[in-house]
Homo-oligomer: A and B are copies of this chain.
Amino acid sequence: MWIETKTEMKETSRSRASFSRRVLDGVMLCRGDMEHLDKYIQDMSFVLQLAVWGLRGVARVILANNPLSGALILAALYWDSPWQGLLGTLGVLASTLTAVIIGQDSADVAGGLHGFNGMLVSLLMGVFSSAGDWYWWLLLPVILGSATCVFLSSGLTTFLNHWDLPAAVFPFNIIIVLYLLCTGTNNPYFPHNPAIPPGVLKPNDTELMAVEVIRGIPLGVGQIYATGALGPSLLILGAIVLYSPLLCVHAVLGSAVGTLAGLSMAVRHDSLYSGLSGFNGALGCMTVGGLFFTFSWRTNLFAIASAFLSAYSDIALSNMLGTVGLPACSWAATLTATLMLLLSGSLAAYRIPIGQAKAPECNLRSRSQWKAGNTEERESTDV
């Protein structure tokens, strides 16, 4: 009899363990790349699939590949400004649909790889527009610009494929600069505000406020989505934590490095307070520290170096492009990340092929796997 009791107790403890495991599994299911979702939705209607692809696209901007993170970020954008939220939604849908229409690789489309550039273009068009919110004519360039991103993304991928480099946010950076150049500041249909370079023309006449500078660090992560408010920025940070806590650490670290770089170059105080000094550093740090390299203390040092390089390059490019009233967007971080991916030497040993990059936690786990895959791939391409 006691045997039965023991068995019962065992079963109880098992069911308890299995319950808590199920809860943990439930949480775990929402984290990382959520690849299981793809199998689940593949029989659903096109609209639902498009929604998932779009949400993945929204999250891809901060190098995350998770539809729930995307939903949180979209919520943050609508919280900050419904108009900006609408533009972002439209942009990600327009570019994803264009990719479907012109017959891009379906795995790329499903992974949201054709959505994030369009989204960024729309958000930045909205931010720079001087026609105010709910200026409906703006939807025209938003849709066209987002659609064009797919062309650039596809072409650049073919070009950069030789070095196993991603097209990243190059398409966004090119399209937004072309749009701003095309319209000019006093265009009768699509007027926009000129960008102000971070370099000071006259000495900063106000005292630097430490609290504001520290507040600028989380704002730096928000500025990746052109959001300058604290609440939405923290929600975006939350979305990154959901995907990968390690990536979030790098985002904050990179933003702090960027702010430090801004301080050392005595940039305008506004630039520090608003987080504009930090976002290129954050992007540069996340790329190296999280996505494309196996996590280790060496990679970590390279991530910090990448953040510094991104931040200083951003100041330089902003000063140059600012002379013609253009913003530097994320040119600096994108170029720096591309450079780091090309690096030979000890960093290259930690390089993960772009087709196999996942959440940092996964990269850590399956290093031996992608190494094997890498070798196989090389063998197959060599002959």
Contact = CB atoms under 8 A, between A and B. Distances in A.
Given A178-B313, A182-B316, A315-B182, A159 B342 contact: yes
A322 B339 CA distance: 27
Interface in A71-101: none
A158 B163 CA distance: 8
Given A163-B158, A264-B189, A102 B345 contact: yes
Interface stretch (A17-25, A148-156, A208-216, A250-258): A148-156
Interface string A198-209: 011101000000
B305 A187 contact: no
Contacts of A266: 187-189
A152 B338 CA distance: 11
Contacts of A265: 182-183, 187, 189
Contacts of A315: 181-182
Given A148-B309, A187-B266, A199-B184, A324 B320 contact: yes
Contacts of A104: 344-345
Contact of A188 (B203, B343, B345): B203
A346 B148 contact: no
Nearest to A179: B316
Interface string A350-383: 0000000000000000000000000000000001
A339 B152 CA distance: 7
Contacts of A342: 154-156, 158-159
A201 B182 CA distance: 13
Contact of A339 (B151, B163, B188, B347): B151
A26 interface: no
B305 A151 contact: yes
B347 A102 contact: yes
A182 B310 CA distance: 12
Contact of A162 (B152, B162, B183): B162
Contacts of A329: none
B343 A151 contact: yes
Contacts of A186: 200-201
Interface in A118-159: 148, 151-152, 154-159
Interface in A324-348: 324, 338-340, 342-347
A195 to B, nearest CB: 14
A297 to B, nearest CB: 14
Contacts of A309: 148, 151
Given A154-B342, A155-B338, A178-B312, 10 more contacts: A102-B345, A102-B346, A102-B347, A154-B345, A181-B315, A182-B313, A182-B316, A184-B199, A184-B319, A323-B324
Interface of A: 102-105, 148, 151-152, 154-159, 162-163, 177-179, 181-184, 186-189, 199-201, 203, 264-266, 305, 309, 312-313, 315-317, 319-320, 323-324, 338-340, 342-347, 383
30 contacts: A102-B347, A103-B345, A105-B344, A105-B345, A148-B309, A151-B343, A152-B339, A154-B342, A154-B343, A155-B338, A155-B339, A155-B340, A155-B342, A155-B343, A157-B344, A158-B163, A162-B163, A178-B312, A178-B313, A178-B316, A178-B317, A179-B316, A181-B315, A182-B319, A183-B265, A184-B200, A187-B199, A189-B264, A323-B324, A383-B383
